[in-house]
Structure 1
């Protein structure tokens, strides 16, 4: 059974290792601000969701990752639903996320979870393909 909770500083080493593109300073900052959820099976962390707030207001899911041996078992959905409920509880009316335009599997996942495509931007020098943005009204 999967349990989802806010990450604690005790989870930082695991998050630094598994969210490797972020770096220790950013991971620590996000943990302090409550911007990570972790999914655990027993005492083992099997996935995480990292988010921020677009324009300081709109909850933006930056990254969701489930360890390979635990994918397609409901861990990602449990993380997402816990985040959605937490954001609704904070009064959010809209959720936002994105993926690179050539990532069809993540886009399919977003759509299955109620997101609709809202536009794309090119980020020359940062990405080789455009970033597609998705929104989901939750009010």
Structure 2
């Protein structure tokens, strides 16, 4: 792992960096997520190395929207540290499962999710908005490591 990585919630001072780093969402969403405490940032010597953005599926299940680590710091444990902190925070808030996803044509991110204890639980397509299937993963915080499927 990168030496002395510190992870905390994003604050107003992180806005400019997050707007630049998180190009998947508009500035208004970045602001909203900061206001709701839905970003975790990994830092070394006050320099941001990566972030984890999440939201709440059905208003009750923590869903990792995106995890991003600066290319120079990938494969050093920063992403794993972000997930571990998020998992601990969500356990503390009473979450029973975590949910995340990856595109079906992205085998590397899928393998990363599995290495971090997530189990595939289904796929969805979103018509013309996203014809490539999205693979969903769940991590059961009560039976960590054992397969779990969402029913529906």
TM normalised by structure 1 equals 0.98
Q: Structure 1 residue 124: deviation in Å?
A: 1.5
Partner Cα separation in structure 2 for residue 124 and residue 67 of structure 1: 32
Partner Cα separation in structure 2 for residue 106 and residue 14 of structure 1: 23
Q: 1:52 aligns with which of 37, 55, 62?
A: 55
Q: Structure 1 residue 36: deviation in Å?
A: 0.2
Q: 2:21 aligns with which of 18, 29, 52?
A: 18
Matches within 5 A, 1:95-106: 95-106=98-109
Q: Deviations over 1:96-137 (max 9, x none)?
A: 000100110110010001110000001122223100000000
Q: Paired residue for 1:131?
A: 134
Q: Deviations over 1:74-111 (max 9, x none)?
A: 10001000000000000000000001001101100100
Any runs of at least 4 consecutive aligned residues in structure 1 with deviations exceeding 6 A, and if so which? none
Q: Paired residue for 1:3?
A: 6
Q: Paired residue for 1:76?
A: 79
Aligned length: 139
Q: 1:94 aligns with which of 92, 97, 108?
A: 97
TM normalised by structure 2 equals 0.90
Q: Structure 1 residue 68: deviation in Å?
A: 0.4
Q: Paired residue for 2:148?
A: none
Q: Secondary structure at 1:72's aligned position in 2?
A: coil
Unaligned runs of 5+ in 1: none
